[in-house]
Amino acid sequence: MSQRYTIRLTVNGEKIERDVEPRLLLSDFLRHELRLTGTHVGCEHGSCGACTILLDGQAVRSCIMFAVQADGHALTTIEGVAPDWTASSGPEAMHPVQIAFWEKHGLQCGYCTPGFIMTLIPFLEENPHPSDEEIIQAISGNICRCTGYQNIVAAVRRAAELMG
């Protein structure tokens, strides 16, 4: 297991080159090697969606990919969706999906939230005017144990408005 491979990829616009073990999960690589801890893990078996990130713009579950599989790709994590946001910049600098979650109380503990947001960004880009059924379909693979989803659905409607 000690053999390592060099991977080169782009994460949130930054070029990265690292040597990694082939078995290293992409979620662990992001969280523990790159210290991008906004990507959370809830199950590590592909069932909950908490670890969702964008790979070349598509939502993928980083817990069921190896870091080596991301070689040559461009990744975006929750830290990369609102590059201008800082603790002092105020919520307005967040991504519209983030703002919508804030306005509609689409999060409680916030643990599942980055995964929802990363699932929804490409969804709303492809479906700028989703129906409620489409919204529910889009988030039905992500588990939230706190909100009962109702306010998440409301947040997605609001996000569509903000982005439209």
Partner 1 sequence: MTTQLFGQPIKRNEDPRLLTGQALFTDDVKLPDMLYAAFVRSDFAHARILSIDVSGALEMPGVVAVYTAEDLGAYWQPGPLLVPPPPVPDLVFNPRMQVPLAKDKVRHVGEPIAVVVAESRYQAEDAAEQVFVEFDPLPAIVELEDALLEDAPLIHEDLDANLNAHVVQHKGDYAQAAAQARLIVKRRFLYDRGIAAAMENRGVVAAWDARAERLTMWDTTQAPVVIRNGIAAMLGLSEMQVRVIAPFIGGGFGPKIMMFYPEEVLMPWISMRLNRPVKWIEDRQENFFATTQERGQIHESEIAVAEDGRVLGVKDVFLHDAGAYAPYGLTVALNSQCTLLGQYDVPHYHTEFRSVFTNKPIVTPYRGAGRQHGVFVMERLLDLAAKELGMDRVEIRRRNLISPEKFPYNNEIIYQDFAPLVYDSGNYGPALDKALELIGYRRFIDEEQPRLRAEGRYVGLGLVTYVEGTGIGPYEGAKVTVETSGRVSVASGIGTQGQGHFTSFAQIVADQLGVGVGDVRLVTGDTAEFYWGAGTFASRGAVVAGNAINAAALAVRKKILQKASEELEIDQEDLELADGAVRVKGVPASAIKLGDLAARANPTRGAVKPGTEPGLEATDYFGPERGATASGVHAMIVEVDPETMLIDIRRYVVVHDCGRVINPMILEGQIHGGVAQGIGNAFYEQLVWDKNGQLLNASFMDYLLPTADVMPVIETDHMETPSPLNPLGIKGAGEAGAIPVGPLFAQALEDALSPLGVEILEIPLSPNRLFELVNDA
Q: Which residues bind partner 1 (CB under 8 A)?
A: 1-2, 21, 23-24, 28, 31-32, 35-45, 47-48, 50, 77-79, 82, 85, 87, 91, 94, 98, 101-103, 105, 107-114, 117, 136-137, 139-153
Say whether residue 69 binds ligand FES (CB under 6 A): no
- Cβ atoms 162, 95 nearer than 8 A: no
Place of tokens 């603790």: 87
C-alpha to C-alpha distance for 139 and 115, rounded to whole angstroms: 10
72 versus 110: smaller Cβ distance to partner 1:
110
For the bound state, the minimum distance from the C-beta of residue 164 to ligand FES, rounded and expressed in Å, comes to 25
Q: What is the DSSP string of 50-70?
A: TTEEEETTEEEEGGGSBGGGG
Cα 53 from chain centre: 4
For the bound state, the minimum distance from the C-beta of residue 110 to partner 1, rounded and expressed in Å, comes to 3
Q: Out of 145, 148, 150, 161, which residue is the one contacting ligand FES (CB under 6 A)? A: 145
